[in-house]
Structure 1
Amino acid sequence: MTGIELIVREYRHWHLTIAVTGNTLFLLGSVLFFQVFSSWQTLAVWMFVLGSTLMLVGAMGEVAKSVYERREKAANRR
């Protein structure tokens, strides 16, 4: 098991936590785009960008986990 595989498989809670944090920032950033919060628009943009990035990282962790599990399943069939 490689270092990356170990991190992806054994610490799944980390990439899920990253994804949930990203989703939360994305949602809060989106709310701050309402006109009533116009003075917070710069913060909203950064929350939106950071949230989107974290969502991508979390999704990549899930994809990597699926790939490793699929490979393991295929190897066990042989």
Structure 2
Amino acid sequence: MTRHHRLAVDRVACDGRGLCAELLPELVTLDEWGYPVLTGSAVPGELLADARRAVAACPVLALRLERGPDRPVRT
């Protein structure tokens, strides 16, 4: 079993600086007003460290990494 992670944005707290999209362009794009749009629900394992960095760098703490329940790994 493996634990999956996903990104979430607090849209009220976010002020649209776009730092998350700069640090994690694989998973975050910006809308026409500069606010983040998350491109996927799950964070791939190879991007987990980058996602943690983007969460830690958010100046208003609007980006968070949520951990989901254990799920079986398909082979």
Is the TM value for this pair above 0.5? no
- The normalised TM-score by structure 2 is 0.25
Question: What's the TM-score once normalised by structure 1's chain length?
Answer: 0.25
Higher strand fraction (1 or 2): 2
Q: Is the radius of gyration larger for structure 1 or structure 2?
A: 1
Higher percent of residues as helix: 1
